[in-house]
Structure 1
């Protein structure tokens, strides 16, 4: 936007401010979507929103006003009784401004339901030009950097975030209806724990200590279970200093919930019910199209053993090649190129990288993956009959892991041994291995009941349900490299009034 246009808009704004014409509130009887659902002849309708389109034809003016719920057309006519209603609107309202309007519903000759404006109020001015309305914002980086414009101009983005809001509401309601309590746990921590991941570090000036940003809320939520709060959940912002991809971000939202006196088998049935309920709430059916694939969420979802899946897909038996050196040799012998540097991985992370390469993309229909090696889940309970495995499951759809869950380890002796094994992996170069957490061990040594826990990535879940190509499309404000060019002009700007 040119400096001249900005200065012109600024002058108009200052004039209106000086005259005291900018309202500080407006009494709405309807949201804009509610206005759009009214019938012709409905009187005394009041709403407010941003003007996103305007056209004047002699003594009549049509505009569209917008809020997150939708858009509706308004009409302002010049009448002998109150010509100032039209003249003030035409002279002082521009695209991007916020107005409150009151009047009666009618249908135009073209069949569009419209609010005939009898009274209106200017609420605030827009100093920068909005993008041209027919094309919206097509540049991906601009959409991410100026998400507020993306939401205003692109209906697809509004639908994604509206669905994300629905997802969070539906999951929260389901958990609350089943007796879970929502809690909050620390984001600033002194020991990275709860997942195999590389943390972000920061310094706490007041305490003069080094801290990490939370990689998962797990160990704190289980402390609360030990305190006697039998069912807990948290929508937790988590931070992992790892690679960025179309399905991974370094800061993301994780739902984790835990139940006392439960195990992974019971929790798997609960998750199946919860996810099916979510699909029905969002889509109104359990048979949907996601990412071009027909997905059927009805019936019993198959349960697949982890090692059997890898063996079927690439011929490598992880039960046989159960050391870092032997597994790496076998992967190289079969000419499988992992997405991670194989030389830096411990055995558990190598298995995980192999699975993600050869198996995960093939799992399209809803399924559960079970029976993970104990080395891959340092906080999960060993299976009573096969102690080399943990009672663990993942739920997958469209080649993406949406849910991770297991029977929690509540044996403090076993937990200490596994922490020590993780420490050895760290000493051998695996910086994603988990450090020993003495405070968490102390809480476990005071006694935990049997526990089952679940983690769900909200961003990734929204991505799959909305058919997005990139997880950033589900994040309101994804982190980007800063630009030295200041705030860019909105592309395709046409409006200059």
Structure 2
């Protein structure tokens, strides 16, 4: 294997360029503005399931060394633009997550993120569905709640299940843990969802799952009809998680509380707390318009478009060759 050569074929690189052009045409027709925001920031995500890359900056205006973080998504900066009156916006950019490479993930990846003022998450699901039909020629998507899909596929209600019931169900399903069985409901729900539900949904057409437990949606509004759930959705197609969307939380005080709660959970799990993005929180204080937003993995989208079996087939140089 020649690690000096790209892992993607020239044909795949041309198909990537065509896909990016198609995406830009879609948003141009919709009147959505393309923007660019910094890849480096002073604050970062507090989510216990996401780790950001960090780097030392020796030339700060304060004269002392600072730690800067590579973005895991452009969300916070884009919301600052929304607070400044940008209107509907989208971005195609690099994002970074400090995780091992795998079939569907490279630590550096391409992300499409967009925000629609005046939309709720159901209206945004229609938007996402139209884009998928445009670039993948998919059928109109299925939509199902998180609660309903758990009941349908695993015969359990994720909104009422107890920790012991979850652990027993995981053992019965044959969940093989290298260490002790997780003692956190959300961690177990996410494991069961990824291992036993994701592979079954969205095979013939994309599947939108909405109404996630509120504890799994740090940036989404709480649902008015069922406060156990949040206005968040994910879309799956042919075994791949493609996108994650929200009816965006607009309350700066509530957002700060959720970030603090994340950091408390990180410390409880032996992880370091992460610096909250104060610029983002300050912008929220000024006022975020009612909007919905979504992030979609472009590399995964291209994998589906060209029927690739591994993300390295659509990247010029994955982390092993970078």
Q: Structure 1 stretch 417-426 or stretch 230-239: which is displaced more?
A: 417-426
How big is the shift at 1:362?
A: 1.2
How big is the shift at 1:326?
A: 3.7
Contact 1:380 1:392 in 2 (8 A): yes
Contact 1:410 1:449 in 2 (8 A): yes
Contact 2:115 2:293 in 1 (8 A): yes
**Inter-partner Cα distance in structure 1 for 2:98 and 2:179:** 16
Superposition pairs for residues 64-143 of structure 1, below 5 Å? 141-142=1-2
SS at match of 1:359: helix
- Say which of 287, 290, 297 aligns to 1:450: 290
Contact 1:339 1:353 in 2 (8 A): no
**Inter-partner Cα distance in structure 2 for 1:410 and 1:427:** 26
**Inter-partner Cα distance in structure 2 for 1:217 and 1:432:** 22
Partner in structure 2 of residue 329 of structure 1: 167
1:302-352 per-residue CA deviation (whole Å, 9 max, x = no partner) reads: 111113222333334322235xx5466334442442678666785434322
- Say which of 200, 204, 224 aligns to 1:362: 200
Partner in structure 1 of residue 18 of structure 2: 166
Q: 1:318 to 1:240 in 2, by over 3 A?
A: same
Contact 1:194 1:379 in 2 (8 A): no
Contact 2:267 2:273 in 1 (8 A): no
Moved beyond 4 Å, runs of 4+: 338-346, 430-435
**Inter-partner Cα distance in structure 1 for 2:183 and 2:314:** 30
Q: Give RMSD over aligned pairs.
A: 2.5
Pairing 1:232–2:112 present: no
Pairing 1:350–2:188 present: yes
Contact 2:167 2:181 in 1 (8 A): no
TM-score (norm 2): 0.89
SS at match of 2:293: strand
Q: Name stretches of at least 5 consecutive residues in structure 1 with no aligned partner.
A: 1-140, 152-156, 280-285, 287-296, 483-497
Q: 1:278 to 1:209 in 2, by over 3 A?
A: same
Superposition pairs for residues 282-431 of structure 1, below 5 Å? 286=137, 297-298=138-139, 300-321=140-161, 325-326=163-164, 329-337=167-175, 346-363=184-201, 364-365=203-204, 366-429=206-269, 431=271
Bigger helix share: 2
How big is the shift at 1:471?
A: 0.4
Count of aligned pairs: 315
1:464-492 per-residue CA deviation (whole Å, 9 max, x = no partner) reads: 1111111011111111178xxxxxxxxxx
Q: 1:341 to 1:454 in 2, by over 3 A?
A: farther
User: Which structure has the higher relative contact order (CA within 8 Å, separation 6+)?
Assistant: 2
1:64-113 per-residue CA deviation (whole Å, 9 max, x = no partner) reads: xxxxxxxxxxxxxxxxxxxxxxxxxxxxxxxxxxxxxxxxxxxxxxxxxx
Contact 2:41 2:71 in 1 (8 A): yes
TM-score (norm 1): 0.59
Indicate the structure (1 or 2) with the bigger Cα radius of gyration: 1
Partner in structure 1 of residue 309 of structure 2: 469
Q: 1:432 to 1:404 in 2, by over 3 A?
A: farther
Partner in structure 2 of residue 441 of structure 1: 281
Contact 1:396 1:403 in 2 (8 A): yes
Bigger strand share: 1
SS at match of 2:211: strand
SS at match of 2:208: strand
SS at match of 1:389: coil
Contact 1:318 1:327 in 2 (8 A): no
